[in-house]
Amino acid sequence: MIWPTAFGMKKYTVIIVDDETPARDIVKSFLSAHDQFEVINEADNGFDGCVRINKNKPDLVFLDVQMPKLTGIEMLDLLEKPVPFIIFSTAYDQFAVQAFEKNALDYLLKPYNKERFNTAIKKFLSVQKDTGFTDVQSDDLLKGLQKIEEKLNRIPVRSGSKIHILKLNEIHYIEAQDDYIKIYSQKGNFLKQQTMKFMEEHLPAETFVRIHRSYILNINFLNQLEVYERQGYTAITTENQKLPVSRQGAVKLKKAIQME
Amino acid sequence: MGNLVHLIVAHFLSAMFIMAVWLSVAGLITGILFGAIKLEEPFTMLTPVRIMLGIIYYLIIALVYYLMVYNQNFKERVENEAKTEAKYREAELNTLKAQINPHFIFNSLNSISALTISDPETAQEMIVKLSEFFRMTLKKDNAQFAKLSEEIRFSRLYFEIEKIRFKDKLEYIIECDEKYGAFLIPHLIIQPLLENAIKHGVQESITTVCVKLECTTTNDHLVLKLTNAFDSESEASGEGIGLKNVRDRLRLIYNRSDLMEVEIIDNQYVAVLKIPLS
């Protein structure tokens, strides 16, 4: 959204998300030299940041990577499309920096000087004139960033404008749906753009078992395992959901619940 | 190969020499004992026996010699091994010594950078604190122990620096009687615990978190206890590399594995270090 001002000049709207007050201050201070920008909101944690970005739809976001509640990386996953142009900032994340470099976004390594800040602003202005920050770019960046995460210990999801952070022990099972996964949990069911392979690799294997090409089950929610026809089993969850279990899946499942 | 030939020749020559000495000594002794009585006959008759005895004598001398050399080498090797072991332990201890988190360094510098614009006086104060902090980490680089009073000062500095970064989000209490100040504790042993409390307690929280450091003593231990509120919702609690290093370091220094305890009581993260008083 570009705001007309009293002088008839268009202003770019900006949101700053960083958990440290001095870090937000320096962005504001450096930005005050550029008349065409207006800081419309700030947040000191990822959760609020995400809600405010989705609500205010700014043109530009300054986003810190390491933050409470939700990291900058988790946030990127939850932003409504089209994702605003994001300038990341980080103090020391070598791997994140690699991901930023590859995906042609700008990032600021803390501490940075005015000159470096202005370069980032110039980059934003030049990109604005062309195509903007595309969905493909943001997806690529996200993929690059997610690779560096080792194990998941929470899954942030979005339904409409609401954001939920699912704890692993709240998740019953995960179902594949084309390019998405559907997470069935105590807090409801959520769609998320992610692959089953990623989930299988990043969830703790002792609790989450890939029982089928299309299903990952949290074994704490397994109620019964029924023989189904000749080759397969059906898993019945504590919520009485019936899930198919492949032959391979049955072997893994029995191992996980120590039947063998 | 050359060595072997050399060795055989050397042994042969010394065997010949010993043999010559032995035969003449034996001849002399027989001469003195039996005088002129049938000198020729027993001498020739006894010669093969004497040669055999000579060879055995030589072998015994050689064997004793080699045993002595072996024993000497063995002692040296054991000494060297002990030296290497000590060096290795020291190196290991040094790597285990608190490594200052790069996040802390760069975020602090970024805070200073911001403060130079908004609040130059606090910026200056923070630079001084940060310098003092780093000086303390450098000064003691080769010393394994430091006085508790110094370590407490170091902890206070760390809290003060983080307080500038996190403002009201961080509150800290240090309860440590001055009478314990002279106790020696492993240098920088508290640091990883503080870092852990900041990272998982303060940084992950959106409300004020109080971090408390207490010192007490039992009969034979100095007890350091660090408590902080901990939001178990936001992250799984595991023992990070920092805490693992503290545990390993205590084990290497004191040869005991029960000196660090970590537990979560009512959303409070409690880390306890027991330092033996020697």
Task: Assign residue A139 the CATH number of its domain.
Answer: 3.40.50.2300
Q: The domain spanning residue A223 has which CATH number?
A: 2.40.50.1020
Q: Percentage of chain B surpassing pLDDT 90?
A: 32
> Which A-chain residues 145-184 have CB contacts (< 8 A) with chain B?
153-154, 165, 167-168
What is the ipTM for the molecules in this complex? 0.70
**H helices present in B167-240, as ranges:** 191-196
Assess whether A174 and A219 both reside in one domain: yes
**Nearest residue on chain A to B114, alpha-carbon basis:** A26
Length of chain B: 278
Instruction: Select the residue of B107, B118, B206 nearest A20 (Cβ to Cβ).
Output: B107
CB contact under 8 A, A69 and B234: yes
Which residues of chain B are within 8 Å of residue A45 when distances are taken between CB atoms? 206
> Which A-chain residues 199-258 have CB contacts (< 8 A) with chain B?
none
Q: At what angle do helices B102-118 and B120-139 cross, to 10 degrees?
A: 150
Q: What is the β-pairing status of strands B268-276 and B260-265?
A: antiparallel
Q: Which of B234, B235, B237, B241 to mutate to test the interface with A (most CBs of A within 10 A)?
A: B234
Q: Which domain holds residue A50?
A: 2-146
Q: What is the pLDDT of residue B141?
A: 57
Assess whether A112 and A239 both reside in one domain: no
User: Would you call A92 an interface residue with chain B, using a CB distance cutoff of 8 Å?
Assistant: yes
Using the structure block, give the residue that is written with the tokens 């370590």.
B151
- Could you give the C-alpha distances from B176 to A26, A260, B24, B243, B246, in angstroms and in order? 37, 55, 87, 22, 21
Length of chain A: 260
Q: What is the pLDDT of residue B42?
A: 54
Q: What is the pLDDT of residue A251?
A: 86
CB contact under 8 A, A92 and B103: yes
Assess whether A78 and A126 both reside in one domain: yes
Domain boundary among A108, A123, A146: A146
Which residues of chain A are within 8 Å of residue B111 when distances are taken between CB atoms? 20, 22-23
Confidence check: pLDDT of B160 > 90: yes
Q: What is the pLDDT of residue A218?
A: 93
Assess whether A106 and A206 both reside in one domain: no
Assess whether A49 and A71 both reside in one domain: yes
Give CA–CA dist A154/B31, Å, rounded: 103
Q: What integer is the mean pLDDT of A139-150?
A: 72
Domain boundary among A117, A146, A175: A146
Identity of the amino acid at B151: E
Give CA–CA dist B263/B272, Å, rounded: 9
Identity of the amino acid at B123: A
Confidence check: pLDDT of A235 > 80: yes
Assess whether A121 and A232 both reside in one domain: no
Q: At what angle do helices B148-166 and B102-118 cross, to 10 degrees?
A: 60
Domain boundary among A112, A146, A180: A146
Cβ-Cβ pairs closer than 8 A, A with B, add up to 73
User: Would you call A69 an interface residue with chain B, using a CB distance cutoff of 8 Å?
Assistant: yes
Structure tokens that stand for B59 in this block: 């072998």
Instruction: Select the residue of A67, A69, A91 nearest B106 (Cβ to Cβ).
Output: A91
How many alpha carbons lie under 13 Å from residue B264 in its C-beta half-sphere? 14
The string of DSSP codes covering B119-188 is: -HHHHHHHHHHHHHHHHHHHHTTT-SEEEHHHHHHHHHHHHHHHHHHHGGGEEEEEE--GGGTT-EEETT
Q: What integer is the mean pLDDT of A22-50?
A: 93
Q: What integer is the mean pLDDT of B100-120?
A: 88
Assess whether A18 and A93 both reside in one domain: yes
Average model confidence (pLDDT) across chain A: 85
Assess whether A12 and A139 both reside in one domain: yes
**How close B111 gets to chain A, by Cα (Å)?**
5
Choice between A140 and A18, residue whose per-residue pLDDT is larger = A18
Which residues of chain B are within 8 Å of residue A68 when distances are taken between CB atoms? 203-206, 234
pLDDT band at B216 (very low <50, low <70, confident <90, very high): very high
Q: What is the pLDDT of residue A35?
A: 92
The count of domains in chain A is 2
Instruction: Select the residue of A91, A109, A153 nearest B235 (Cβ to Cβ).
Output: A153
Identity of the amino acid at B215: C
Assess whether A72 and A162 both reside in one domain: no
Q: At what angle do helices B148-166 and B120-139 cross, to 10 degrees?
A: 150
CB contact under 8 A, A69 and B115: no
Q: Which of B99, B106, B110 to mutate to test the interface with A (most CBs of A within 10 A)?
A: B110
User: Would you call A68 an interface residue with chain B, using a CB distance cutoff of 8 Å?
Assistant: yes
Assess whether A70 and A186 both reside in one domain: no
Nearest to B269 by CA among B244, B240, B237, B222: B237
Q: What is the pLDDT of residue B278?
A: 74
- Could you give the C-alpha distances from A112 to A21, A102, B250, in angstroms and in order? 16, 20, 39
Assess whether A159 and A140 both reside in one domain: no
**For A55-85, how does the pLDDT look when each residue is reduced to its tens digit (9 = 90+)?**
999 999 999 988 877 888 888 888 887 888 8
Q: What integer is the mean pLDDT of B237-251?
A: 77
Assess whether A98 and A114 both reside in one domain: yes
Which residues of chain B are within 8 Å of residue A171 when distances are taken between CB atoms? none
Confidence check: pLDDT of B95 > 90: no
- pTM for the full model? 0.69
B100 DSSP assignment? P
Long-range contacts of residues B154-161, Cβ cutoff 8 Å, at least 24 apart: B154/B188, B154/B190, B154/B191, B155/B190, B155/B191, B155/B194, B155/B213, B157/B129, B157/B132, B157/B133, B158/B133, B158/B191, B158/B194, B159/B194, B159/B211, B160/B129, B161/B108, B161/B126, B161/B129, B161/B130, B161/B133
